[in-house]
Amino acid sequence: MKGSFFVEEKENLERLDIVFNSRYPSFSRSYIKNLIDDKKIFLQNRNVKAGEKVKTGQLVTFDFEEIKPLDATAQNIDFEIVYQDKDLLVINKPQGLVVHPCSSTKDGTLVNGLLYKVKDLSGINGVLRPGIVHRLDKNTSGLMLVAKNDKSHISLAEQIKNKICKRRYIALCDGVFKQDEGKIETYLERSSSDRKKYAVSDKGKIAITEYKVLKRYSTKTLVEFELKTGRTHQIRVHCKYINHPIIGDDVYGRADKNLNGQLLHSYKIEFLHPITNEKMGFSIDLPDYFKNYLKKLK
């Protein structure tokens, strides 16, 4: 999809993403923001932020390959529903399960399983991601929030954005941490050498991760991480950045022949119920493959 248009007087001083969305309402705001971040939409031939205020007469140009929607079908996928009411679910995603369909994985995902097990899901993210408020990487296991209606979806998404929702992870990292606790704060953006990866940069989106050492082994460290922001691959990239990549991470560290992916588990989540405002919290144990790996360490 390629084209251009001039900003009209009625659009003066409006945000770029909102203006683009008004011209092309079939695209979600989040999708448009990603296009702007990926340098697919320009203002006056300049790459700007999604919130840039446009002016009358300015030129907006765009050039991107439109992703065609795929119809997600209901499939009996194995995952645990930890909690469920009429507004939301808390699920335990197993390692190896992709969250939603994409160009490379059209079925067999968590979304396919949700459509099989749950009658109502929010529609904010469209046919490919019904109910999905936030994601976990394919080989990251653990707790996820799923919205059953749009009101809940908006509330939960805002809680994540405003750091009201607290998410904690446990990971086994390579090397021995010197400090008992600390904070990693950087900017992250897509890697210039591999668009599927992310990297620490002097620009991009702010990413903040706090950590606390749980146990030290002879050559590895068991660490609790808390996300203060929710960037793609954030913990994995930050672990690589401080030279303690997560064990089994074949993208930001190295593969382990005894594992099917990184030892990273979302074990605890706290939030306010989107309708009742009740404080809610859930935690789950490490999966068996993670515990068995730890038993073999000295």
Catalytic residues: 137
- CA dist., res. 252 & res. 238, Å (int): 9
- Judge whether 265 and 283 are in contact, CB under 8 Å: no
Q: How many CB atoms lie within 10 A of CB 293?
A: 19
Q: How far is CA 149 from CA 120, 135, 155, in A?
A: 7, 17, 10
End-to-end CA distance of the chain: 56
- Judge whether 265 and 192 are in contact, CB under 8 Å: no
Q: State the residue for tokens 């493959």.
A: 289
Query: DSSP character for 134?
Result: S
**Residue 273: exposed, middle, or buried by beta-carbon count in 10 A (0-12, 13-18, 19+)?**
middle
Give φ, ψ of 183 to 5 degrees: -135, 135
Q: How far is CA 272 from CA 69, 88, 144, 157, in A?
A: 32, 11, 14, 11
Give φ, ψ of 270 to 5 degrees: -130, 140
**Residue 86: exposed, middle, or buried by beta-carbon count in 10 A (0-12, 13-18, 19+)?**
exposed
Give φ, ψ of 53 to 5 degrees: -80, 125
